[in-house]
Structure 1
Amino acid sequence: MCDEFTEKDIENLNGNDGFNRRTFTKLSSIATFMALLPGCAASDVSESAITETEVDVQMPDGVSDSYFVHPSSGQHPAILMWPDIKGLRPAFKAMGKRLAMAGYSVLVVNPFYRDAKAPVVGPDASFSDPDTRTFLRGMASKLTQDAAMSDARAYISFLDDQSSVDTSRKIGTAGYCMGGPLIMRTAAAVPDRVGAAASFHGGGLVTDKEDSPHLLIPKSPAHVLHAVAENDDARDPEAKIVLAKAYEDAGIPAEIEVYAGANHGWCPPDSAAYNEVQAEKAWSRMLALYESALS
């Protein structure tokens, strides 16, 4: 999971030379990240045929300033995307836009709407800074299981009200870092709508607490992908085993894989841990999951 040890791993990865991908991209826009993502040029829908909107989603606890993007014509399966602990920002908007170019109506949310509008931290924010770590963890702590499931229901209700969403198709969800538990809570909150859930370097999927996300697995039939960072697995190698057993016992199709050489945070293109080869592999597995499960 994302913590001060993750930042040390990233520093080691980058050789402590003062230059890394986060430095390069810290002032970047959505357009810059779209250019960095290698698969966009070959997408099913051209960028010019995409509609993107900043939206305010009415929530039980306030208003979530979010990003909604979809092909400009037709109806498409919906995807609810949960960002990592640094929240909604240009890199995740670019990822949502890329998913829309693959033929989906995508809502990328501000999970911290209770406290602040996005972006909640600057592009050079680091968990090695104690103040940043305390600030983000304080907001994340409010996403209890009950709060997260309430939010999921509201976001899915918003999606189902959109003319670009094909409500005859199941909804997918994706989550990064702290978004890992959120995709599991989303699937359990609206089991009749969520058909696929994907997590990438998700933290806290298996705990010893009564609200551990893995205990929700029997509550949802959604097919699942868990893409696990190698250094996360090294710290908690039993988690993947517990997850696999829980899915097997529930009869739920699940793909759980440790991505060799991929450190926590390897998927977002603004991450200092970004690993293009493994990020593209994870992206392709997510698209395969959605293609097969969102019928």
Structure 2
Amino acid sequence: MCDDLTNKDAEAYFLSRGMSRRDFGKVGLGAALAMMLPLSATAQDVVEANVMVETPDGEADCYFVHPAKGRHAAVIMWPDIFGMRPAFRQMGKRLAQSGYAVLVVNPYYRTMKGQLVPNDVAVIDPELKQKIFPKAREQARTLSPQTCVTDGRAFVKFLDQQPAVATDRQVGTMGYCMTGSYTFRLAADMPERIGAGASFHGGGLVTDKPDSPHLLIPEIKAGFLVAIAENDDERDPKAKIVLREAFDSAGVTADVEVYEGTLHGWCPPDSAVYNQAQAERAWREALTLFERNLA
């Protein structure tokens, strides 16, 4: 999970690549993200909007994007500890171009509207990370397993009210870093509505606490993808075994895999440890999961 140790790993990796935010700035944020997130030849035209979603605790500012025509399975995308920002909007848009109605959410809406990462940032380098990480950690502490569930229910309710959403198809969830666990919690809370969950370098999936996400697996009916960073696995090599055994015991179809050569946070394209080859492979696995389980 994202902490001081993974931050040190990220800084060393970033510096080893000899890159800086200026390198990305030379081509512009949009172009940089587009190069890192290749567009499919079958990409659909999409409609996108900033929306406010009512929850029991207020209004969450979110980004909603969906194909311009038809009704489609919905997917909730929870960002990592650095919250809503251009990279996740781009990822949400890319998923919509593959045929899904996607809601990218701001998990910190109770205490902060908008975003921690400036709009013109194409990579969260060590300098910026050092500056914003304390605030991000402070915001993360305002959340809990219960807020995940109450927010998730509200997001599903919002999606089910949208003309672009096919309510006869199940909903998917995607979580990164700290929100990897959110996919477990919502799938367990709404087993009849959530059909697929994907956790990317998710933190705290197996703990010794009574509310550990892995203990919820018997309540889950959704298919799952758990994509684990190699350095996360090195720190807790037993976690993947516990997860596999729990999924197998519950009869839940799941792919639990350590992605070779990756560091915690490797999936978002603005991450200092972005690993394009492995991020693309994880993305393809997520699309396969959604195609299979949200049909």
Interval containing the TM-score (normalised by the shorter chain): over 0.9
Cα separation, 1, equivalents of 2:26 and 2:219: 40
Matched, 1:86 2:85: no
Query: Residue 4 of structure 1 aligns with which residue?
Result: 4
Instruction: After superposition, give the CA deviation of every residue in 1:130-177 in whole Å (9 maximum; x if it has no partner).
Output: 663332122212221111100100001000110000011111110111
Give the alignment partner of residue 92 of structure 2, picking from 93, 96, 101: 96
Distance 2:279 2:98 in 1: 16
Change (3 A) 1:294 1:41: closer
Task: Sort the Cα spacing of 1:55 and 1:229 in 2 relative to 1 into closer, same or farther, 3 A.
Answer: same
Partner Cα separation in structure 1 for residue 284 and residue 268 of structure 2: 14
Paired residues of 2:82 and 2:133 also in contact (CA < 8 A): no
AA of the residue aligned to 2:159: L
Q: Distance in 2 between matches of 1:199 and 1:53?
A: 25
Counterpart amino acid of 1:42? A
Deviates more, 1:6-15 or 1:123-132: 123-132
Distance 1:115 1:53 in 2: 22
Contact 2:233 2:258 in 1 (8 A): yes
SS of 1:264's partner is: coil
Tell me, in whole angstroms, the C-alpha distance in 2 between the residues paired with 1:205 and 1:241.
12
Match of 1:118 among 103, 114, 117: 114
Q: What are the ranges of 5 or more consecutive residues in structure 1 without an aligned counterpart?
A: none
Q: 3-state SS of the aligned residue for 1:203?
A: coil
Distance 1:219 1:231 in 2: 29
- 2:214 match: secondary structure: helix
- 1:109 to 2:105 alignment: yes
Check whether the contact 1:76–1:166 (CA below 8 A) recurs between aligned residues: yes
Following the alignment from structure 1 to structure 2, what is the Cα–Cα distance between the partners of residues 203 and 43? Answer: 34
Q: Between the two proteins, what is the percent identity of the paired residues?
A: 52
Question: What amino acid is the match of 1:134?
Answer: P
What is the match of residue 175 of structure 2?
Answer: 175
Q: Deviations over 1:222-243 (max 9, x none)?
A: 0000000000000010111111
Deviation of 1:121 (Å): 3.6
For residues 251 and 169 of structure 2, the distance between their equivalents in structure 1, rounded to whole angstroms, comes to 22
CA distance in 1, matches of 2:162, 2:203: 31
CA RMSD of aligned residues (A): 2.1
State how far apart, in whole Å, the 2-side matches of 1:25 and 1:160 are. Answer: 39
- Cα-to-partner distance string for 1:253-288 (whole Å, 9 max, x where unaligned): 010000000111111110110111101100000000
Cross-structure match for 1:42: 41
The question of whether the paired residues in 1 share the 8 Å contact of 2:125 and 2:272 is answered with: no
Aligned counterparts of 2:70 and 2:211: Cα–Cα separation in 1:
39
Q: Distance in 2 between matches of 1:144 and 1:27?
A: 39
Matches within 5 A, 1:68-217: 68-122=64-118, 123=121, 124=124, 132-217=132-217
The answer for the alignment partner of 1:248 in structure 2 is 248
Evaluate the alpha carbon distance shift between residue 127 and residue 232 of structure 1 in structure 2; reply closer, same or farther with a 3 A threshold: farther
Report the AA paired with residue 197 of structure 2: A
For structure 2, which runs of at least 5 residues remain unmatched after alignment? none
Alpha carbons of structure 1 residues 81 and 30: separation in structure 2 relative to 1, 3 Å: farther
Query: Number of aligned pairs?
Result: 291
After superposition, give the CA deviation of every residue in 1:200-255 in whole Å (9 maximum; x if it has no partner): 11111111111111111111200000000000000010111111111111110010
> Using the alignment, how far apart are the partners of 1:189 and 1:127 within structure 2?
39
Counterpart Cα distance in 1 of 2:180 and 2:21: 23
Contact 1:33 1:91 in 2 (8 A): yes
State the distance in 2 between where 1:270 and 1:26 align: 15
TM-score with structure 1 setting the length:
0.92
Q: SS of 2:174's equivalent?
A: strand
Between the aligned partners of 2:157 and 2:228, the Cα distance in structure 1 is: 30
TM value normalised by structure 2: 0.92
The AA in structure 2 aligned to 1:221 is K
Describe the shift of the 1:133–1:245 C-alpha distance in structure 2 as closer, same or farther (beyond 3 A): same
Does the residue aligned with 2:115 lie in a helix, a strand or coil?
coil
CA 1:180/1:28 → structure 2, altered by over 3 Å: closer, same or farther?
Answer: farther
Counterpart Cα distance in 2 of 1:20 and 1:131: 16
